[in-house]
Structure 1
Amino acid sequence: MTAQSKTQHSPGTAVVIGAGVAGLATSALLARDGWQVTVLEKNSDVGGRAGSLEIAGFAGFRWDTGPSWYLMPEAFDHFFALFDARTSDYFDLVDLTPGYRVFSGDLNPVDVSTGRDKAIALFESIESGAGAKLSDYLDGAADAYNIAIDRFLYNNFSSLGPFLHYDVLTRAGRLVSLLTRSLETYVNSQFTSLVLRQILTYPAVFLSSRPTTTPSMYHLMSHTDLVQGVKYPVGGFTAVVNALHRLALENGVKFQFDTEVTSINTAAVHGSTTATGVSMLHNGQVDNLDADLVVSAGDLHHTENNLLPRKLRTYPERYWSNRNPGIGAVLILLGVRGDLPQLDHHNLFFSEDWTDDFAVVFDGPQSTRPNNASNSIYVSKPSTSEDGVAPAGFENLFILIPTKASSSIGHGDAYLQAASSPVETIASYAINQIAKQAGIADLADRIVVKRTIGPADFERRYHSWVGSALGPAHTLMQSAFLRGRNSSRKVNNLFYAGATTVPGVGIPMCLISAENIIKRLHADTTAGPLPEPLPYKTKPSQRTSYDH
């Protein structure tokens, strides 16, 4: 029996590196599948990029420090259903109406009410004929979304079967067109209004990319926000993270925090190099943890180039030399005195210099951007939807400014160190821009607490490659099977989960990446989600495959 077949037939011990969303999800599924799982986390709490921050001396304020858009609700529902549970068993959701507010240049704010009919009516009110065009656009987005769910996302691409399915073959011409044409070109060919173009192409940022290099296949994102709608988990994404943590604990997962994995250990087993556990640093002491299976849910670049010797790297440094790291970000966490009715829960601030907004992020400093950051800014005001994130009489703001993925921009001051000059400058420009576009002249004067997070914080806290905020961009050459694979080619029983591997960035993708680990362990080459619920800790002889 080879080491790889052992993982397919007899669960043993597993170690998961990282307690972010992917690590939590993977550990819970492995435990459900019969493995004895230990999660090792370098920081002192769960969540990773989907973190939470409270500041001493400012009681009542709490900020999510990462994801804030709850999209693809069925991905969450399906994940919990694998455990014979419902999302509503763990957290509450509220529908956001409108889904979000858009500030574009000097135009009046546009409230984007979600739901197909409302979105069509909105587009028609802004540009004559755009309603009918959006109807066709959303039809295509729904079709692309469904084919992605059924054939591509829950897929390890270890066989040609999914590509030869009738649903794919009959759409081959359209799929090739969508993959080889940019999102910007696709949208601009149908809509003239700048604000409508911005609404339809900004989702590229959710993919850590830009409209000119994002395949138009990803117009499927408009199905998630304009048709499915935008929801908010009460308690923020901290509630989602806590739910995943609780699910893992309920299934017997053990956690060890403040523990830095320093190497993935290997040995020759039946003639093949096989992962045998990890070395780690805890309380200044170096220790080893043996395991039959290792899953890194941390940054893939760090995993490959810092935790493995050169000869065992599937993705060595040269692989990354021509990869697009995606966006960096400066985050601002604000507590503001008084109400801010000018802002809704989700707010998108766009400049008219749309091309320069993305150029500064992906190409570097621009003469039109003295602060070297995008003027397209995202602002979340969760205090619109719940009272638990700010004291009475105050508002909670989370601001994300896309920047180049470069740790040289520096640290913020959220984690007890001084903010760098570039981060402070970017934050100042952003606050002034929001005040001007939203018509909040005294915004800066009403700030009672401000903290920042910079690209260097992403690098230090999460080992993020060059300080990337989300993960590698979803360009054509970094999507689907071209994004890489979730298992090492050189080390048996070493797997990868999370935003830096397949299927991609975002909380739903992290959940799917965890499920794809289970599919690979079972040599399951089918496309689509696993059946609900998964069997629980069944005997090895009953676990060799799942029925579909």
Structure 2
Amino acid sequence: MRRTITIIGSGFAALSCACYLAQQGHSVTVYEKNETIGGRARQFKASGFTFDMGPSWYWMPDVFENFFKDFNKKTSDYYELIKLNPAYRVYFGVNDFVSIYDNLEEIKKTFETIEKGSAAKLQSFISEAKSNYDIAIKDLVYRPGVSPLELITPKTILKLNQFFGSVSRDIQKKFKNKKLIQILEFPVLFLGAKPSKTPSFYNFMNYADFGLGTWHPKTGMFDVVRAIEKLALELGVTIKTNAPIEKIVIENKTVVGVISNNLFVPSDIVVSGADYQHSETLLEKEHQTYSQEYWKNRVFAPSSLLFFVGFNKKIENISHHALFFDTDFNQHAEAIYDNPKWPEEPLFYANFPSKTDWTAAPDGMESGFFLIPLAPGIEDSEDLREQYFDKIITRFEKLTNQSIRDAIIFKKSFCKNDFVTDYNAYKGNAYGMANTLFQTAFLRPKLKSRKVRNLYFTGQLTVPGPGVPPALISGKLVAELIQKSLKASS
């Protein structure tokens, strides 16, 4: 039976869910509070430059293919992908960087030049990571997090010990060189927790990195947002922007609609792709599943200080993606997770999409995106932002042996306060809730409300977790739960 379904937000999870529900035959409307769709993956243009505002790494291409395959489509029907080579560079000091190339054989050669015997160890490590990837991506991440029994399969029983070890411990057992350890620990940072707190099983992220490679949609990550929007419209979804939701309306413990721009919108089912904690504040307290104390005690992934920068010249000695690990990782991690504060000497990430995409900047110029991971909930001010921009640009110039400060003709910052204002993000988090042992699978906030009928949630605070591929999967999981519930009640 056709239902009227309201979806709150237009990030990857919400748009994914909208497509699946429309495919089931429902009347689906997406309500986005901002002027443009995409949630954290929005795009903006200024002074001739184009900037993706959020996700910039295209990993796990098979998950994107699987999403479009569910609608008898291919990614190539909507956008073109470019495999980056090098995938990225990691800077450790002046004239001291490691390039990660686009295939495992080249990466093994690089490792061997840094630590004798590491090529064979890397092959063994990535083989194990691939095994975990196959289990995770082909099976576990498509489970809705309803029961702990979802994790128990013949394959996972053989991997049980990997849920109690840590990625960091496993890497440090095999490799001794600090640079190699940091390169291998980097991918799990996408999961929002320290490598020492991330279960060993999640080393499948290393296979996503070294095995599947780093890709770039031809004109930026927003290509993917546009693609899913186009698919949604083809399926009959209605998308409304400048349409914040002020309240989720409940009668007799059942959703009956939402209030948007002071107007009541009747709905048989509501799915919120907005920040989970914020979504529950749209309910009366008696209908909320999780208390403020609950959220306070969760381990959240970092917030971020972002800078979108336009340069009037080409930047040299740099790759499309670059990581700057020239300062102490442990001190920065402590400032994020253990003693929340602004790090004294932060690690940072830089992305120059115009190295690959000519549309990202005017001819002869360069667009840059700089990111510093920060603890959620800390102080945020323009003075602090400028202080830290100065820190990273000074180091960038030194490490890449060039002057870039005088070439800046456009700059915009985005930090904790903006995450709160634009996305209603709890404590201004950028990546949701960390995938630690006790925040994995069925231990994450549920896709379906325990207290309100026909109310569902999707996105990075629920299953499977943070990241663009998990968000696409999260949308599918919710749509399947809704379909199952409707069949059971018919």
TM-score (norm 1): 0.86
- Which residue pairs with 1:517 in the alignment? 478
What is the DSSP-based 3-state SS (H/G/I as helix, E as strand, rest coil) of the residue aligned with 1:375? Answer: coil
Match status 1:495 vs 2:456: yes
Question: 207-216 vs 397-406, which deviates more?
Answer: 207-216
CA contact (8 A) 1:373 1:403 kept: no
Superposed CA RMSD in Å reads: 1.8
Aligned AA (1:347): A
For residue 409 of structure 1, give the secondary structure of its aligned residue in structure 2. Answer: coil
Shift of 1:259: 1.4
Say if 2:40 is the partner of 1:49. Answer: yes
Q: Which residue of 1 aligns with 2:72?
A: 84
- Name the counterpart of 1:333: 308
1:474 aligned onto 2:438: no
Q: Residue 229 in 1 paired to residue 213 in 2?
A: yes
Q: Which residue of 2 aligns with 1:414?
A: none
Q: In structure 2, do the counterparts of structure 1 residues 189 and 160 end up closer, same or farther at CA, with 3 Å as the change threshold?
A: closer
Query: Residue type matched to 1:179 in 2?
Result: F
Once residues 244 and 407 of structure 1 are traced to their aligned partners in structure 2, the CA distance between those partners, rounded to angstroms, is: 34
How many aligned residue pairs are there? 489
Q: Aligned residue for 1:4?
A: none
**Alignment partners' CA distance in 1, 2:477 and 2:220:** 26
Aligned equivalent of 2:85? 97
Distance 2:340 2:456 in 1: 37
8 Å contact 1:407–1:459 — kept in the other structure?
A: no
**Separation in structure 1 between the aligned mates of residue 237 and residue 378 of structure 2, nearest angstrom:** 34
Pair 1:434 & 2:422 matched: no
Deviation at 1:373, TM superposition (A): 5.8
Give yes or no for the alignment of 1:201 onto 2:185. yes
For 1:361 and 1:63, the matched residues in 2 are separated by 26
CA contact (8 A) 1:358 1:374 kept: no
The answer as to 2:384 corresponding to 1:422 is yes
- Tell me how far 1:421 sits from its aligned partner: 1.1
Given that residues 373 and 404 in structure 1 are in contact (C-alpha distance below 8 angstroms), is that contact kept between their aligned partners in structure 2?
no
Confirm whether residue 28 of structure 1 aligns to residue 4 of structure 2. Answer: no
Q: Deviations over 1:120-143 (max 9, x none)?
A: 222111101111111111011001
Kindly provide the amino acid, as one letter, of the partner of residue 278 in structure 1: V
1:74 is aligned to 62
**SS in structure 2 at match of 1:111:** strand
Partner Cα separation in structure 1 for residue 152 and residue 173 of structure 2: 31
- For residues 402 and 68 of structure 1, the distance between their equivalents in structure 2, rounded to whole angstroms, comes to 14
Match for residue 249 of structure 2? Answer: 265
Q: Counterparts in 2 of 1:296-315, with a 5 A limit?
A: 296-304=272-280, 306-315=281-290
SS of residue matched to 1:392: coil
For residues 377-404 of structure 1, the C-alpha deviation after alignment (integer angstroms, 9 at most, x for no partner) is 1111111111100001111111111111
Cross-structure match for 1:290: 266
Gaps of at least 5 residues in structure 1 are: 1-9, 411-419, 525-539
In structure 1, C-alpha distance between the alignment counterparts of 2:454 and 2:132, rounded to whole Å: 33
1:406-451 deviations in Å (ceiling 9; x for gaps): 26314xxxxxxxxx211121222111121122222x1111111111
Residue 390 of structure 1 is matched in structure 2 by 361
CA distance in 2: counterparts of 1:387 and 1:163, whole angstroms: 45
Residues 451-474 of structure 1: CA distance to partner in whole angstroms, max 9, x if unpaired? 111111001000000000111111
Residue 255 (structure 1) aligned with residue 250 (structure 2): no
CA separation in 2, counterparts of 1:456 and 1:183? 32
- Residue 177 (structure 1) shift: 2.3
The question of 1:133 aligning with 2:121 is answered yes
Q: Summarize the Cα distance change of 1:365–1:167 in structure 2 as closer, same or farther, 3 Å threshold.
A: closer
2:29 counterpart SS class? strand
Mapped partners of 2:334, 2:201: distance in 1: 22
Q: Which residue of 1 aligns with 2:153?
A: 165
Distance 2:104 2:441 in 1: 28
Q: Which amino acid aligns with 2:236?
A: G
Which residue number in structure 2 is paired with residue 3 of structure 1? Answer: none
Please say if residues 198 and 436 of structure 2, whose CA atoms lie closer than 8 Å, have aligned partners that are also in contact: yes
Q: Counterpart of 1:300 in structure 2: which amino acid?
A: Y
Q: CA separation in 1, counterparts of 2:139 and 2:12?
A: 23
Seen in structure 2, the aligned counterparts of structure 1 residues 469 and 339 have a Cα distance that, compared at 3 Å, is same
The 3 A distance-change label for structure 1 pair 374 and 216 is farther
C-alpha offsets along residues 213-264 of structure 1, whole Å, 9 cap, x if unaligned? 1222211101011011111001111111111111111111112211111111
Q: Please say if residues 327 and 346 of structure 2, whose CA atoms lie closer than 8 Å, have aligned partners that are also in contact.
A: no
Q: Are the aligned partners of 2:142 and 2:473 in contact in 1 as well (CA < 8 Å)?
A: yes
Aligned with 1:24: secondary structure?
helix
Letter aligned with residue 331 of structure 1: L
CA distance in 1 between counterparts of 2:113 and 2:333 reads: 28
Residues of 2 paired with 1:186 and 1:168: CA distance? 18
Equivalent in the alignment of 2:318: 343
**1:161 positional shift:** 5.7
Q: Which amino acid aligns with 1:513?
A: S
Q: Distance in 2 between matches of 1:107 and 1:180?
A: 39
> Is contact 1:80-1:87 (8 Å) kept?
yes
SS in 2 for 1:378: strand
Q: Does the CA-based 8 Å contact 2:332-2:343 persist in structure 1?
A: no
Q: For each residue in 1:484-516, what CA deviation from the matched residue of structure 2 results, as whole angstroms up to 9, or x when unmatched?
A: 221101111111111121111111011000110
AA of the residue aligned to 1:22: A
- Between the aligned partners of 2:247 and 2:188, the Cα distance in structure 1 is 35
For the 8 Å contact 1:373–1:402, the answer to whether it is kept is no
- Which protein is richer in helix relative to its size? 2
Question: How far apart, in 2, do the equivalents of 1:253 and 1:72 lie?
Answer: 26
Alpha carbons 1:373, 1:426 under 8 Å: kept: no
Structure 2 match to 1:244: 228
In the alignment, structure 2 segments of 5+ residues that lack a partner are none
Q: CA deviation at 1:104?
A: 1.4
- How far apart, in 2, do the equivalents of 1:106 and 1:364 lie? 30
